[in-house]
Amino acid sequence: MTEQATLNDAEIARIARRVDRPIVLVGLMGAGKSTVGRRLAAFLGREFVDADDAIVEAAQRTIAEIFEEYGEAYFRDGERRVIARLMDEQAGVIATGGGAFVDPETRKLILEEAIAVWIDCDIDTLVERTSRRDTRPLLRDGNPKEILSRLAQEREGHYRQAHVRVVSENGPHADTARAIIEGIDQWMT
C-alpha cells in the first residue's frame, strides 16, 4: 500500500452495503489472501472461506496429495468447481489458491460473478511468509525465491485483470483490508 487507508466504521458500513457479490482474493501464495481475507470479512460483516480449505474438506486429501496423485490439471478442475460452489453459496470473502486465477475458466467465472481483488506483494516478503510452513507443493522442488519470481512473472498478466489491486506490505493486516475496501469503493463508483 502506498498510502495509509483511512476509512472509519461508518464508511466501511456504507461500502459493505453496496457490495452485492462475493469478493474473491487472488494473488501468489504468501500474499496474505487468507489472513487479510479474514480481517476483510470481519470489517464487512461477511463470512470468510478459504477455497483451499474447502477443497481439502471436499476431497478428504491435502492439496499436496491431490497434486501428487492426480496432477495440477485435475486439481485446477476441482478448484474451479469448489470456487463456483462457494460463490453460489455466499456473497462473502473467498481466498483462492495462488494458481486459481491463472486458469482461464476460473478467471472468467470470478471476473463475471465476483469482485476480484489482486493482493500483490514483493518477492522477498513472499519467500519469508511461505517459508513458515511446508505445505506448498509448487515450492518443494527448488529454490523458493526463484520459483516465486518465475510464478510472479508468469502470472502477473492474469492477476492484472482483477478489478482491484492492492499491495500488501509487512504492516497490520487491517491496513491491507481497509485498502481493499477503498479499492472496491473506487471500482464500484
Give the domain CATH number at 28. 3.40.50.300
Distance CA(18)–CA(185), nearest Å, equals 9
pLDDT by 10-residue block (mean), the chain, 189 residues? 64 92 94 94 96 93 89 90 92 91 96 97 82 57 81 95 92 90 94
> Looking at residue 3, what is its pLDDT?
45
Instruction: Please tell me the predicted confidence (pLDDT) of residue 145.
Output: 86
Question: In sequence order, what are the beta bridge partners of 117?
Answer: 25, 164
Q: Is residue 136 part of a domain?
A: yes
Please tell me the distance from the alpha carbon of residue 69 to that of residue 19, in angstroms, as a whole number.
39
Does a structural domain hold residue 111?
yes
Burial (CB count within 10 angstroms: exposed 0-12, middle 13-18, buried 19+), residue 78: middle
Residue 154 covered by a domain: yes
Where b means 16+ CB within 10 Å and e means fewer, 147-184 reads: bbeebbeebeebbeebbbbbebeeeeeebbbbbbbbbb
Within-domain flag for 56: yes
Q: In terms of residue numbers, what domain contains 142?
A: 9-188
**Residue 4 covered by a domain:** no
Residue 5 contacts by C-beta under 8 Å, 6 or more apart in sequence?
175, 178, 179, 181, 182
What pLDDT was estimated at residue 82? 94
* Alpha-carbon separation of residue 82 from 51, 59, 96, 131 (angstroms): 7, 10, 10, 27
In the chain, how many domains are there? 1
Is residue 2, in this structure, part of any structural domain at all?
Answer: no
Res 135: pLDDT: 54
DSSP-derived secondary structure letter, 141 = T
Q: What is the pLDDT of residue 1?
A: 41
